[in-house]
């Protein structure tokens, strides 16, 4: 073997020896590090091998949790829709029952003095401040329903500028030409429209006066407090 070949073989042997010494040093260093930290190398390697599977399992749990949250939200929304629908149905039943009581009352026996009545005035606010929709229902409660004729007058009493003031309904609504509202009905009559309160006027009461001319003369006066409702009742519709 030539001298340069011997030198190459010797160099390779030295490199292999150095690599072995380096690997042994790394291994011994890891073992010493594991020993100082109280870590079992075999257990550490097993944990390192199990880590990807654990991470994949965690991601799957996150996906299942997200799906469960979506299902819960859908169930909650469905339950809310059912609750709202039930509340709406109950409200409709209450309105129908109210209307039924109203129509039954029209069939109650009695003469015109006992049977004619005012149901007051209903007020529902509109979007514009000081503007209200109104409805007045007059009815006849009798076994024999003759045609009622007469007129109705409505006044809104309140305070304006520190003084008591009264407005005719015809003065604050565009739906009436006169404050004498004609009445002509056998069972009931509803007077409806919208009114605009003058700026600075604070309503307190509503005075209603009905003057009947047929089938007998009769005058009925009622005073009602100013009360605002969320919506009209089912009566008189």
Q: What pLDDT shows up at residue 207?
A: 94
Enter the CATH code of domain 109-225. Answer: 2.60.40
* Joined tokens for residue 27: 């291994």
Question: Per-residue pLDDT averaged across 53-62, rounded?
Answer: 74
d(CA 229, CA 91): 15
The per-residue pLDDT for range 132-190, each reduced to its tens digit, is 999 998 888 766 678 889 999 999 999 998 899 999 999 999 999 899 999 998 888 88
Q: What is the mean pLDDT of the chain?
A: 75
Please write the tens of the pLDDT for every residue from 81-112: 767 776 666 666 665 665 555 555 555 544 43
Write down the pTM of the prediction: 0.54
Q: Which residues, including other chains, have CB under 8 Å from residue 27's CB and lie 6 or more apart?
A: none
Measured distance CA(5)–CA(11) in Å, rounded: 10
Mean pLDDT for 35-49 is 56
Task: Provide the pLDDT for residue 146.
Answer: 81
Q: Which residues contact 116 (CB under 8 A, 6 or more apart)?
A: 138, 139, 140, 141, 148, 210, 212, 218, 220
- Per-residue b or e along 189-220, where b marks 16 or more CB atoms closer than 10 Å to that residue's CB: bbbebebebeeebebeebbbbbebeebeeeeb
* Average pLDDT of the segment spanning 224-231: 91
Give the pLDDT score at 88: 67
Helix (H) or strand (E) holding 160: strand 148-160
On the question of pLDDT at 234 being above 50, the answer is yes
Q: What is the mean pLDDT of residues 100-127?
A: 66
């Amino acid at each position: 073997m030539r001298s340069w070949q011997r030198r190459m073989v010797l160099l390779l042997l030295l490199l292999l020896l150095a690599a072995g010494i380096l690997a042994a040093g790394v291994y011994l260093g890891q073992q010493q590090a594991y020993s100082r930290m109280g870590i079992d190398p075999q257990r550490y390697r097993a944990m390192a091998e199990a880590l990807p599977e654990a991470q994949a399992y965690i991601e799957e749990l996150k996906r299942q949790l997200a799906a469960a949250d979506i299902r819960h939200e859908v169930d909650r929304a469905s339950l809310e829709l059912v609750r709202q629908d039930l509340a709406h149905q109950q409200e409709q039943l209450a309105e129908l029952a109210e209307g039924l009581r109203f129509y039954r009352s029209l069939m109650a026996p009695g003469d015109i003095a006992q049977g004619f009545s005012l149901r007051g005035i209903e007020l529902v606010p509109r979007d514009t401040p000081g503007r209200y929709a109104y409805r007045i229902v007059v009815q006849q409660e009798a076994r024999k329903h003759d045609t009622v004729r007469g007129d109705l007058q409505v006044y809104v009493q309140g305070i304006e500028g520190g003084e008591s003031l009264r407005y005719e309904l015809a003065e604050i609504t565009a739906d009436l030409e006169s404050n004498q509202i004609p009445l002509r009905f056998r069972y009931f009559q509803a007077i409806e429209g919208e009114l605009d309160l003058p700026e600075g006027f604070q309503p307190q009461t509503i005075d209603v006066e009905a003057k009947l001319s047929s089938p007998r003369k009769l005058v009925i006066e009622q005073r009602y407090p100013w009360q605002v409702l969320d919506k009209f009742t089912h009566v008189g519709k």
